[in-house]
Amino acid sequence: MIKKLETNKKMGELLQEYYIRGLFEDYRAWITSGGPVEFLYSMGVYPVYPENHAALIGAAKEGVNYASISEGDGYSQDLCSYVRCDIGAIISGNSPVGGLPVPSFLVSANNICNTVVKWYEILSRTYDVPLFLLDIPFIRKEMKENYIDYVESQMYDLIKFISTITGRDFDEDEFYKTAVLSIKGIKSYEEVLRMGAHKPSPLTCFDAFINMAPIVCLRGTEAPINFYEGMKAELDERVKNGIGAVDNEEVRLLWDNIPIWYGLRWLADFFAEHNACLVADTYTNAWTFFGDLDLNNPIRGMAQAYSPIYLNIGIERMAEVVNKLIDIYDIDGVVMHSNRSCKPYSFSQYELQKMLDVPSVIIDADQTDYRVFSQAQIETRLEAFLEMLR
């Protein structure tokens, strides 16, 4: 059986605080998970994360309810279910957390997918608020100077955009402070994730998933630093006492792609029962990318850090990243979630499989829409895979 972390409770409190704060702020911007939130925090704008909200709907097993509402409005069932869930929540005016606060403006960065361009255009029409599209070229191979110049120039446009709407000036010192907090948050999150390298691992990727909201939503504030330090202390304790997240850890696995939010518990139990531990994943580790920020020139540094993130690089570079994780965490096998929603994440998998240093298995599902998910089929497939690894 899975062992729960005390930290999970604190996470709930932190998130609640974060959600409540949103109701009282003057300016709220909806922003994509790969967007440079540091500009918002440093200019006193409260960031709202529709992706996180959709994940929450998925984890509450409400994905199909909300997705169906948007499908009734004409959205195809083949579109990313995060979008379908959130649009369903907007139409119904409800969600497990009572819906999201209305945006003052929108910031979308296409470094995670092209889907968010369309998604945010829809939001912009729905709420009749301005949209800033941060257009980040796909870094398939090298990161050309021209790309960084282009992204950097847009960072200045973004500042002007926020300034015009809020009437607030950009303060370089404030921004610097936010950037420092952001890096610190990422570093402490990274330390938590790296605890998975211990044998046995004191955490599973499910712990990482459940506790990722602070680094996404509160990056650039003090909150994630303290939170992950607390989480790390709890994990240190486990390591000191030789306690693994899974009893009798025999097989060490890496998860690829966004979680199957409605199936977290079931999957966690399944692996624990089979003495297998998902010690890390490519999804949460993706956030550690932002950590390489050049503080000497933070705005250009932002352009450099936000461009080559995991979903915005070519498959060969992705393979390098995954093989590095396989090495760091001493992984025996990779479990790939072929996720109908997320095409940029999933369409690389068949090629990736050929490039990885360890065997891998693909399971078909969706991040929030459980209509395309067959528990029995996945179990059979995973059992065969684990058998093969032993």
Partner 1 sequence: MKEGLYRKIGYFCTFTPKELIHAAGFTPIRLLADNTPINRANAYIQNYCCSQVKGCLEKMLNGDLELDGAVFTRSCDSLMRLTDIWELNSNIPVYDLEFPTNIGDKSKGYFLNELLDFKKWLESLNGDEKITFDNLKDSIMLYYDLDKKLDRLYSLNPEYNLAIKALTSNPAIALDEIEKRLNHLNNQSMNEIEKNIDKKKAKILVTGSICPSTDIYEIIQDSGFSIVDDFCTGTRFFKSDAILPEINNMDDAMNFLIQKYFLKAPCPTKHYDNDRRFAYILEKAKDVDGVIFLLVKFCEPHFFDYPQLRKKIEEIGKKTLLLEFELPITSFDQIKLRINAFSEMF
Which residue stretch of 108-116, 169-177, 219-227, 379-387 sits at the interface with ligand SF4 (rule: CB under 6 A)? Answer: 108-116
According to the binding rule CB under 6 A, does residue 115 interact with ligand SF4?
yes
Of 43, 57, 113, 162, the one binding ligand SF4 by CB under 6 A? 113
| Residue 313: CB minimum distance to ligand SF4, A | 14
Nearest residue (CB) to partner 1, 116 versus 213: 116
Nearest residue (CB) to ligand SF4, 82 versus 329: 82
Of 52, 154, 188, 201, the one binding partner 1 by CB under 8 A? 154
According to the binding rule CB under 8 A, does residue 348 interact with partner 1?
yes
According to the binding rule CB under 6 A, does residue 342 interact with ligand SF4?
yes
Nearest residue (CB) to ligand SF4, 3 versus 343: 343
Nearest residue (CB) to ligand SF4, 309 versus 334: 309
Subset of 293-322 contacting partner 1 (CB under 8 A): 314-316
Nearest residue (CB) to ligand SF4, 49 versus 228: 49
According to the binding rule CB under 8 A, does residue 228 interact with partner 1?
no
Q: What would the 3-class secondary structure string for the chain be?
A: CCCCCCHHHHHHHHHHHHHHHHHHCCCEEEECCCCCCHHHHHCCCEEECHHHHHHHHHHCCCHHHHHHHHHHCCCCCCCCHHHHHHHHHHHHCCCCCCCCCCCCEEEEECCCCCHHHHHHHHHHHHHCCCEEEECCCCECCCCCHHHHHHHHHHHHHHHHHHHHHHCCCCCHHHHHHHHHHHHHHHHHHHHHHHHHHCCCCCCCHHHHHHCCHHHHHCECECHHHHHHHHHHHHHHHHHHCCCCCCCCCCEEEEEECCCCHHHHHHHHHHHHHCCEEEEEEHHHHHHHHHHCCCCCCHHHHHHHHHCCCHHHECHHHHHHHHHHHHHHCCCCEEEEEEECCCHHHHCCHHHHHHHCCCCEEEEEECCCCHHHCCHHHHHHHHHHHHHHHC
Of 37, 48, 57, 80, the one binding ligand SF4 by CB under 6 A? 80
Subset of 111-130 contacting partner 1 (CB under 8 A): 113-115, 117-119, 121-122, 125
**What residues make contact with ligand SF4 under the rule CB under 6 A?**
51, 80, 82, 112-113, 115-116, 258, 341-342, 345
**What residues make contact with partner 1 under the rule CB under 8 A?**
73-76, 78-80, 83, 110, 113-115, 117-119, 121-122, 125, 133, 135, 137-138, 140, 144, 146-147, 149-150, 153-154, 157, 314-316, 338, 340, 343-344, 346-351
